[in-house]
Structure formats: structure tokens, C-alpha cells
Structure 1
Amino acid sequence: MQSNTEPVVQIVAEIGRTLGYPPEAIPTQIDEKRTAEVLGVKVSTLTNWRTTGRYSLPYIKVGRLVRYRVTDLAQWIAKRRQGAEG
């Protein structure tokens, strides 16, 4: 049986592979472009989600810069996973 953190750790590794990072060098935060790449959406879609509150995908904003923590992204993806486990 998997613990609650195992799927998140696996998703973080998948995100790293998707973006071309070696397992030991997965960044803590990624920008909008890379987040959109991971999710298979456009950057404008992420902007829309943030401004409308459509999805509660956590982000960090400093001035004009928007960043997403890879662990937050992995948790968000894990919560949305559909289908039977097992």
C-alpha cells in the first residue's frame, strides 16, 4: 500500500523528467511556461485560472514574476487523479 506522499514524490519525478531535469537537479520552483508544459495547457490558461480562481493551483508572485512550486504542482495533480487505485 502506498503512503500519501508516495504519489506526490512520483509525480515530482515525472515533472522533472518531462522538463528534462536529472532526478538530483529538479528545481524547487518553475515558471509559467514550464508549468504550462507540464499540464499541457497554454500560459494564458494558467493566467485565466489565477485571475478567475477557477482552480486552486497555488503560485508565488513577486512583482510580475509568477512561479509554481513543483511539490505544490505535484500535490494538485495527485488530487485530480481519477480512476481506481490498485
Structure 2
Amino acid sequence: MTDHTPGPAHTAEPTPQLLTIAEAALLLRTPVATLRYWRHLGTGPRSFRLGRRVVYRRDDLQSWIDACRHHGASTGT
């Protein structure tokens, strides 16, 4: 009998790496409208279009959060 150990493609991933704007808003606890406004201004977390959808990479969101935290810490807020 062969061992059927699932490879990386078969493991259940608890969180997707690409998030929709609604999922990103939930993660950031920010209204979707705010994310759209930031995108319009060219600020906020990095996003891109995938077909007709605007998506966010989870790593980019975390990097943006970290940058905001470090910026706030350096200014004393």
C-alpha cells in the first residue's frame, strides 16, 4: 500500500494568499469604501487587478500594517 501524504498543493490552507477588497477590509477592520479611496489616492496597501477584481496579497497587507506601526512608533503616536 502506498503512502498518500498530501503535498503542498493538497494541504488545507487556512487563509488564502490573495484577498478580495472585502476580505482585506475585514482583515484591516476598515470599510471597503476606505480601501477604494486609498487606492484612488495611490496610498494604502498595495493592490492590483486580477481580471476584473481588485485583490490584495496577504503579505502586502502585513507589510503595510508593519510599516504603519513602525512609522507611528517613530513619531511617538
Question: Could you say which TM-score interval applies, normalised by the shorter chain?
Answer: 0.5 to 0.7
Could you say which residue in structure 1 is the equivalent of 2:55?
Answer: 67
Aligned residues, how many? 61
- TM-score w.r.t. the length of structure 2 is 0.67
1:58 counterpart letter in structure 2: R
For structure 2, the residue ranges without an aligned partner over 5 or more in a row are 1-12
Consecutive aligned runs of 4 or more in structure 1 exceeding 2 Å deviation: none
The answer to which structure has the higher helix fraction is 1
Larger Rg: 2
CA deviation map 1:41-82 (0-9, x unaligned): 1111111101112x2411120343011000010011011113
Q: Give aligned-pair identity as a percent.
A: 33
Q: What is the aligned partner in structure 2 of residue 35 from structure 1? A: 24
Larger RCO (CA within 8 A; separation ≥ 6): 1
RMSD (Å) for aligned C-alpha atoms: 2.1
Unmatched 5+ residue regions in structure 1?
A: 1-23
